[in-house]
Structure 1
Amino acid sequence: MKKKQFLALALSAVMAGGMLAGCGSSNGSTSSSKSDAKDEVVTLKWIQVGNGMPKDYDEWLEQINPYLEEKIGVNVDMEIVPWGDWDNRRSVITNSGEYFDILFTDQNRYSSEVNTGALMDITDLLKDNASELYDMIPEDYWKAVEVNEKIYGVPTYKDSSLSEYFVWDQDIADKYNIDVNSVTDFNTLYDALKTVKEGEGGSPYFMSKNGANFLLNLNYDDLSSGLPAIGVKYGDDTKTVVNPLDDEEILSNLDIVRKMYQEGIINGDAPTADDSSKYAMFFAAQGWSGAAKTTWGPNNGIANCSAVQYGNTVVSNTTVRGSINGIYSGCKHPDKALQLLNLVNTDSKVRDWFYYGAEGKDFEYTDDNKVHRLTTDWGMAGYTQGTFFNVTQTDDVDFNQWDEVEELNEKATPSEMLGFNLDTSNIETELANCRAVYEKYYSELFTGAQDPRELVKTIDAELETAGWETIREEAQKQIDAQK
């Protein structure tokens, strides 16, 4: 799993290579007739991001396609684009008009792809072709992906809320008598990690270049603008648009991050470090506590891993939009594309193939109807495809981690802006300019490499020049119009 910091997207990506569970029927069902499948077999091209084309892809196709053909009359042709090539490949796809049937998208691209006409309005097609899927996903989540009251993509019902965790090597914590359950803020975190550093040396807190940017994600709804430096605070009934970087509570926490960086508690290369699956005795990550046993520990070389939640669990348009599958506006068979998405989300056998790989090569079923992993390098990223809640549980844990994920979703604090869609057509230039400013400084800000208060002054000044106030005024006007 990509670790340390992300949006709902990055945690579950590596989970494609190392965890799982589920609760669906192995046979599944669809709203389409099997007799139709015998009339015409449609091949659907589905483009996703992941670790590249799986090495067992051909064998996987030989297993899954006959099943899909029998169920709904389709075959699949997958393109799994490596993470490093994703942005360039996506630009080619959406700018050239290249044909596809289904395309993975997320909060960073969804609105612009709708606005440029790349994705189809599926509002009226959903109930006829994916009724089970439509009923399964909470109504608020469908609202979260609406653009101008129309649905252009199917949200992936997974860890669709956002929860952040402090993740520990419990053996190290025990060695220094650290009660990890009492470390739930940055002050207590500093004290604990300073103790570890004095005893172990090195830098006990691994940070990637995303640093502690979860401080923004957990406190502010960025209105799906793609600009974290603008938003409405969770719990603000007045729905006032502000700059989260000026929040005193966030700045105070960043002061502590700065101190940890200066004292070597945080790794010195944090501003340029990538997320990595290598041993770290402590890091922060988005997910759920059970991931300590199923993913964070195994993927990062921690034999005894524990995770303690930091902050509240929240849900917003942005968290829901962490994984969406859209259908091409020129798709020849949108009904079949929706039937496929319906099947992936309601049939555990199909879901397991996408999540785990080829049966007999990458996984096998046990006598008690669990999954035993034979490999952990399946190239498809599990979070890009469908719900987590019908993925079969693995046999290496005695609990179903998805039960916790579902509970977190149900208890999440909803943003006051859930369902609000910012029309960016009049502020695209200003947004692009302000994003460039934010991206120039955010790594040094959130890793503590520079004094946060001085750096924020610089960022604020450059944001104003780039058009931040124009964005704020436009966003506030649209919010006020919907009050």
Structure 2
Amino acid sequence: MKKFSKVMALFLIFTLCITSLAACGKGKNTNNQNAGKVSGGDTAGTKDTSKDDKTKDPVILKWIQIGGQPNNMDAAVKNMNEYSIGKIGVGVEFTYLDWGIWGDKVTAMINSGEKFDIMFTNGDKYSSAVSLGAFADITDMLKDTPDLQKFVPETLWSGAKINSKIYGVPTYKDSSQTQYWVWDKELVDKYKIDYEHIETVDQLDPVLYKLQDEIKAGNITGTDYALTTAKDGINGFLMNYEGPSAALGVRFDDKNAQVVNVFEQQDIMDILTHMHKWYKDGIVNPDAATLDQGPAWVIVSSGQGFPGSDVDWGKGRGKDTVSHPFAGPLYSTGTILGSVNAISSNSDHKAEALKYLELCNTDPKMRNMLAYGIEGVDWTDNGDGTVTRTPDCYSPAAYSQASFFTMSPVAPNSADQWTKVQEWNEKATSSVLLGFSFDRTNVENELAACDLILSRYKQELYTGTSDPEEVVPKLYSELTKNGGLEKIRTEYQNQINEWLKTK
């Protein structure tokens, strides 16, 4: 009997060992519902020397991202998972939603309660998802990720707040907005254009007329117009106003936070009036209002950027550029919410998801893998603080992932590119509405009606095709009569006033 007991005991011990080993092989989250997801691959080969043996049962998070699925995806994600699991016991699998479907798809996912752990979001998508209870409140959880909480400036955390709570990790990058006049360097040098002292349309005006004369004389070739634009006109010219509609907003420096008709304001009317004058005088291309995108090369244009952007602008134009800001840098709720990663309120791994976002934002090695893929395959380290990417490499939308400031710049950008951007952010002015989030629920129909009306006017207004002295009064009359503009104004102002009481 004793011998039989010993045999049975040994059999039970053997069975328990086999069961334990099988359990250790379970690495993947079972929330794998969408087509298009990409797994991080087998992590069984990961070695772990940490005391708590994190890789025994790694958590694999599902992260919803924007854009087309990058090349070399399986290998890149497997590589980063080996690193992150070794560090914190957490890996990831991505579901990429292409640019054209991202907005509708994330709305459908949230409305249906589809499972995910982390989701890239922005602007109104973030606010509306919070109002539906789709994103977890991470305000108190941040104390468990002190490196992340400290790394992201308080201004950005404030911009991500809704009703004093934080529901997502804002991406710390070129988070303030700056608009530049971007010039062809060769023409600047040839005509000795004092571009560093041109900010307003009044200052730009005589230069454009001089350049147009040179075009007519045949001294400048490659274009018939000194100012070639697409249908958005001067890109970013409304940036100093924040509102639920382009036609309605609060100026960033108005301490009274009064909602105004944006197109009636003197600074905006000056721009619209100059555009119309330039259009009539043949300085602006006559097809501007119908163009979704202008030509690659132009003499001068407006662009949103940051210190060092001339490298990319020059590559895009095929010629060197120089630039000078005419507005900003400015922090607003909108600029900060341009990129946020939120954790699902239905996630079974909220703490792990936040810890993973902390690693992505604060660990340079992890950040480079996340943005660039596998070193030696997708990119090489130049040894000077920059990297060079290989052809057809892994290339996701880096702005949607994590901070730029732990990521190596891509040559020919300088090694201090992101340091300069970080310093530029520190100069930014904060909008009086920073941290305010508008609840559109009570005026959704009115906003839709106003957007429809505005769509019939804005291209011709922005490009100078129409006379703003005639069009702006007509526009506001129709917005008021048929769009419910005053209801929107009242709702927006009331919410601002209530929010100001809590500051």
TM bin, normalised by shorter chain, reads 0.7 to 0.9
SS at match of 1:325: strand
Distance (Å, rounded) in 2 between the aligned partners of 1:238 and 1:405: 31
Q: Is contact 2:66-2:98 (8 Å) kept?
A: yes
Quote the offset at 1:275 in angstroms.
4.4
Moved more, 384-393 or 420-429: 420-429
Give matches, 1:113-152, under 5 Å: 113-128=129-144, 130-152=145-167
Moved more, 34-43 or 454-463: 34-43
Task: Evaluate the alpha carbon distance shift between residue 434 and residue 41 of structure 1 in structure 2; reply closer, same or farther with a 3 A threshold.
Answer: same
Quote the offset at 1:354 in angstroms.
2.3
Moved more, 464-473 or 421-430: 421-430
Quote the offset at 1:213 in angstroms.
5.1
Quote the offset at 1:321 in angstroms.
0.9
Normalised by the length of structure 1, the TM-score is 0.85
Give the corresponding residue for 1:164. Answer: 179
Give the corresponding residue for 2:326. Answer: 310
Task: Evaluate the alpha carbon distance shift between residue 58 and residue 172 of structure 1 in structure 2; reply closer, same or farther with a 3 A threshold.
Answer: same
Give the corresponding residue for 1:292. Answer: 310
Task: Evaluate the alpha carbon distance shift between residue 117 and residue 275 of structure 1 in structure 2; reply closer, same or farther with a 3 A threshold.
Answer: farther
Give the corresponding residue for 1:30. Answer: none
Q: Is contact 1:363-1:375 (8 Å) kept?
A: no
Task: Evaluate the alpha carbon distance shift between residue 42 and residue 275 of structure 1 in structure 2; reply closer, same or farther with a 3 A threshold.
Answer: farther
Quote the offset at 1:36 in angstroms.
5.5
Distance (Å, rounded) in 2 between the aligned partners of 1:378 and 1:169: 32
Q: Is contact 1:44-1:337 (8 Å) kept?
A: yes
Which structure has more relative contact order (CA 8 Å, sep 6+)? It is 1
SS at match of 1:461: helix
Task: Evaluate the alpha carbon distance shift between residue 340 and residue 272 of structure 1 in structure 2; reply closer, same or farther with a 3 A threshold.
Answer: farther
SS at match of 1:216: coil
Quote the offset at 1:378 in angstroms.
4.6
Moved more, 245-254 or 442-451: 442-451
Gaps of 5+ in 1: 1-32
Q: Is contact 1:289-1:307 (8 Å) kept?
A: no
What one-letter code is carried by the residue in structure 2 that aligns with 1:299? G
Task: Evaluate the alpha carbon distance shift between residue 323 and residue 36 of structure 1 in structure 2; reply closer, same or farther with a 3 A threshold.
Answer: farther
Please point out which of 248, 262, 270 is paired with 2:288: 270
Give the corresponding residue for 1:216. Answer: 238
What one-letter code is carried by the residue in structure 1 that aligns with 2:251? K
Give matches, 1:347-386, under 5 Å: 347-375=363-391, 378-386=394-402
Quote the offset at 1:69 in angstroms.
1.5
SS at match of 1:426: helix
Task: Evaluate the alpha carbon distance shift between residue 379 and residue 398 of structure 1 in structure 2; reply closer, same or farther with a 3 A threshold.
Answer: closer
Please point out which of 351, 360, 367 is paired with 1:344: 360
What one-letter code is carried by the residue in structure 2 that aligns with 1:239? A
Give the corresponding residue for 1:25. Answer: none
Gaps of 5+ in 2: 1-49
What one-letter code is carried by the residue in structure 1 that aligns with 2:491? E
Q: Is contact 1:210-1:447 (8 Å) kept?
A: yes
Give the corresponding residue for 1:389. Answer: 405
Give matches, 1:222-261, under 5 Å: 222=243, 225=244, 227-261=245-279
Is 1:153 the counterpart of 2:168? The answer is yes
SS at match of 2:289: helix
SS at match of 1:284: strand
Quote the offset at 1:284 in angstroms.
1.0
Is 1:177 the counterpart of 2:195? The answer is no
What one-letter code is carried by the residue in structure 1 that aligns with 2:461? L
Query: What is the CA RMSD across the aligned residues, in angstroms?
Result: 2.2
Query: Highest CA radius of gyration, 1 or 2?
Result: 2
Q: Is contact 1:104-1:325 (8 Å) kept?
A: yes
Task: Evaluate the alpha carbon distance shift between residue 98 and residue 262 of structure 1 in structure 2; reply closer, same or farther with a 3 A threshold.
Answer: farther
Distance (Å, rounded) in 1 between the aligned partners of 2:457 and 2:126: 25
Distance (Å, rounded) in 2 between the aligned partners of 1:355 and 1:276: 29
Distance (Å, rounded) in 2 between the aligned partners of 1:427 and 1:472: 10
Quote the offset at 1:468 in angstroms.
1.4
Q: Is contact 1:366-1:372 (8 Å) kept?
A: yes
